[in-house]
Chain A
Amino acid sequence: MNLVIYILRRLAISIPVLFVGTFLVFIMISAAGDPLAELRGRPNINPEAIAQTAQQLGLDMPIIPRYFHWLGNFLTGDWGVSVAQGNAMQPVFPKVMGAFDVTIKLVVGAEILALIVGVAVGVLAAVKQYSIVDYLATTLAFFLFSMPIFCVAVVLKTYAIQVNGWVRDLGLTDWLGNPWLRTTSPENLHSTGFGDFLAKYSGAYLLPTLSIMAISFAAYSRFQRASMLETLNQDYVRTARAKGISGSRVVFRHAFRNALIPVATLFSVNFGQVLTGAIITETVFNWHGMGTLLVDSVNHLDPSTLMGWLVVVAVLVVVANLIADLLYGIMDPRIRVG
C-alpha cells in the first residue's frame, strides 16, 4: 500500500514538471520560426488557404492561449495534425506512436543484451583484477565509450555490405536471404516459417542492436567492475571467505547480488541517453523511428509532431526514473521506498 502511495506521489510530482517542460518547449518551437513558411513560399498560393490552415492549427492565436488550446486537445486525445510538407495534415498520434513502436523494440532488446554482457564482463574483470581479461575489457570499454555511436553504426554498416557481398558470392542467398544483413529498416519483414523469421529478424536487427549495445556495454561493464571491486573488499565478504565458503559462492551469492544494485539503477537512469543513441543509429540505418521523426519535424518546424514526440519521450524518462528508484528499494533493503 505504501508503495502504491509512493508511486502515485512520484507521478504527481512529475506532472508539474511535465507541464512546465511542455510549455517551455512549446515556446521554443514557436520562437524557432513559422511552421507555414514553406507553405507561404509556394508559388500561386492562395492567402485565404494559408489563413485557413493557420486557423486550423491554431496559429492565429497568441502563444499562451495557443499552448492551452494544444494542451486541452492533447489531453483529450487529439494530438493535432502535422504540417510537414508531403504529408500535410496527417494526424500526429499514429505517426508518433508508430515511430515509438519501432524505437522501443530496438532499444529495449539492445539494452537488455548490453546489460547482460556488460555485467558479465564487469564481474569477470573485477574478480580477475589486473589480469589480461581485465585489461582487455578495460581497453575495449574505453574505446567504445570514446566512440561516437554513429561511427560505430557507419563502420558496421560498411562491413555488413561487404559480408552481404560474400554471402552472394558463396551462393547462400537462398538460405540467408538477400541481402542477409539488412542495412535499412526492417519494414515489410515477411517471413515464412521460424528459421526464415530468425534469419530475417537477426539480419535486420543485428547491426542497430550492436551499435546501441556498444556504448551501453562500455558504461555497464565499467560500472559493474567498480561496484564489484568495492563489494569484494567489504568486511562481510571477507567474513564469508574466512568461514570457508567456496570462492564462486562468495562471488555470486554474497558479493554479486549487492554489486548489482547500482548498475540496475544506471539501467533506467541512462534511458534518456540511450534513446539519444537510438536516434542516431536509426538515422544511419534509415529506420523510421523516433530519430527520423525528430529530424524531420525539427527541419519542418512541425509543432504538433514535435510536442507529441517530446511528451512521449519525457513520460518515458519519468517512468524509467521511477522504475530505477523502485528497483533500488526492492534490491537494497536498507533503502525504504515509500
Chain B
Amino acid sequence: MNSLVAGEAASAAQREGTLPPEALPEPVSQGRLVLRKFLRHKLAMVSTVVLLLVVLVAVILPIFWMHKYEDASFPSFARPSSDFPLGTTQVGKDMVSQVLRGTQFSLLIAVVVSIVGTFIGVVFGSVAGYLRGFTDSALSRLTDLFLIIPQIAAAAILAKVFGHGSWFVVALVLALFAWMPIARITRAEAMALSQREFVEAARAAGGGTGRIIFKHLIPNMVGSITVNATLAVAQAVLVEAALSFIGLGVQPPDTSLGRIILENYAQVQTRPWLFFGPFVVLVLISLSINFIGDGLRDAFDPRQRRMKA
C-alpha cells in the first residue's frame, strides 16, 4: 500500500520532470516484518526454543523411556537414581513418566482452551463491535453474566455435569469461561475498525455482515488476537493446574501437571523432588509462553522499531 502510493508519487514527479526518480523501498509484507522483529527478540527466541524442547521431550521421550507410566510395580518412594531420575511415587510409579504424561495433558488442555476461547471471544467481540446497537448490548450483558460466575467454580460444577473429569471436558469447560477478555479486546478493535474507510467501502460494495467481519475486520486484528491467544495458553496452563490441584479438575485415568502436584505435594518436606519435578516443568511452560507472548506483542506493535531485551 505504501509502496503503491510512493510509486504513484514518484511517477507523477517524473512526468512533471521536477525530481529525480526516488529509489523505492523493497515491499515487505506484515507477516515478514513481524517475523523479522520476533526473531530479533532474544528473550522470546530463547523461550520459543525452550518451549519447543519441552513439547518435543514430552511427545517423543515417553516412546523410548525405560518405564511405562501405568507400571506401578516399582518400590514405593524410591529416591532419585539413574534408574528413576525423579524417584517413584507412593504407589510405585516412575515419576519421570508421570511428569511427561502430565505435561502432554497440560499442554493439550491449554491449547484447546486457548483455541476455543479465542474463537468464541473473537466472534462475539467482532459481531458486537461491528453491529452495535441491540446485538452489542445483548452480547455485553452475556459477557457480564460470564464474568460474575468465577471460572473455577463454574468449571468445577460443569466438569461434574459432563463426564467425570476427562481432559477434553475440562478443556471445553475452561474455554467456556475464558473468552471474555478476548471478546472485550476484539469488540473495541472492531468498533474502531468499522469507522474506517475500507470497511465503509466494503459495505458500499454490498459486502454482508459475515463477509465484512471475517474478510475485513478479523484479518486486521490478527496482531492482538495472536498475542492474546498466546497469553491465554499460559493462563490456561495455570488455571487448569489450579483446578486440578483443588481436586476438581482432571480425574484419573487422565492426568495433568496440577493433578500430579496434588498427588505428591504432601511429600514436599521429605521428598522435595516429587513436588519440584512437575512444578519446574509447569513454571517453565508458563514462563516461556508468557515471554513469547510479550515478544509477539512487541513484534506486532508498529510503533516499536527497535527492541530492547
- Which residues does A use to contact B, with CB under 8 Å? 13-14, 16-18, 20-21, 24-25, 28-29, 31-33, 130, 142-143, 145-151, 154, 158, 161, 272, 275-276, 279-280, 283, 291, 294-295, 298-299, 301, 306, 309-310, 313-314, 317-318, 321
With A21-B145, A28-B157, A298-B160 in contact, do A280 and B283 touch (Cβ < 8 Å)?
A: no
Chain A contacts for B275, CB-based, 8 A? 154
Residues of A within 8 A of B291 (CB): 142
Main secondary structure of the interface of A (DSSP, over half): helix
Q: How large is the interface on B (under 10, 10 to 19, 20 to 34, 35 or more residues)?
A: 35 or more
Q: Collect the chain A residues with CB atoms within 8 Å of residue B246's CB.
A: 150, 279-280, 283, 291, 295
**Cβ of B149 and Cβ of A147 under 8 Å apart?**
no
**Could you say which residues of chain B place their CB within 8 Å of the CB of A14?**
144, 148
Q: Which residue of chain B has its CB nearest to the CB of A315?
A: B148
Q: Known contacts A28-B157, A298-B248; can you find 20 more A-B pairs with CB under 8 A? A: A17-B144, A17-B148, A20-B145, A24-B145, A24-B149, A25-B157, A28-B158, A146-B287, A146-B290, A148-B282, A150-B242, A154-B275, A272-B150, A276-B151, A280-B242, A280-B246, A294-B156, A295-B156, A298-B157, A313-B153
Complex Cα distance A313/B268, Å? Answer: 32
Among B145, B265, B308, which residue has its beta carbon within 8 angstroms of that of A154? B265
- Complexed CA–CA distance, A21 and B308 (Å): 46
With a CB–CB cut-off of 8 A, which chain A residues contact B287? 142-143, 146
Known: A276-B242, A294-B156, A295-B248. A32 touches B149 (CB 8 A): no
B148 near A21: Cβ-Cβ < 8 Å: yes
List 18 A–B pairs whose Cβ atoms lie within 8 Å, in order of A's numbering: A13-B141, A20-B145, A28-B158, A32-B161, A145-B290, A146-B286, A146-B287, A148-B283, A150-B241, A150-B242, A151-B282, A151-B283, A158-B269, A272-B147, A279-B246, A298-B160, A310-B153, A313-B153
Cross-interface CB contact of A142 among B241, B258, B269, B290, cutoff 8 Å? B290
Mask for B153-189, Cβ within 8 A of A = 1, else 0? 1101110110000000000000000000000000000
| CA distance in complex: A248, B256 (Å) | 50
What residues of chain A lie closer than 8 Å to B272, measured between beta carbons? 158
Interface 0/1 of B280-309, CB less than 8 Å to A: 001100110011000000000000000010
Q: For the complex, what is the distance from the CA of A147 to the CA of B141, rounded to whole Å? A: 32
B247 at the interface (CB under 8 A from A): yes
Contact A146 B234 (CB under 8 A): yes
Q: Does B54 contact A (CB under 8 A)?
A: no
Q: Which residue of B lies closest to A134 (CB)?
A: B308
Least CB separation from A27: chain B residue? B161
Per-position 1/0 for B23-43, Cβ under 8 A of A: 000000000000000000000
Task: Please indicate the chain A residues that have their CB under 8 angstroms from the CB of B247 in the complex.
Answer: 295, 299
The answer, yes or no, to whether B77 is at the interface (CB within 8 Å) is: no
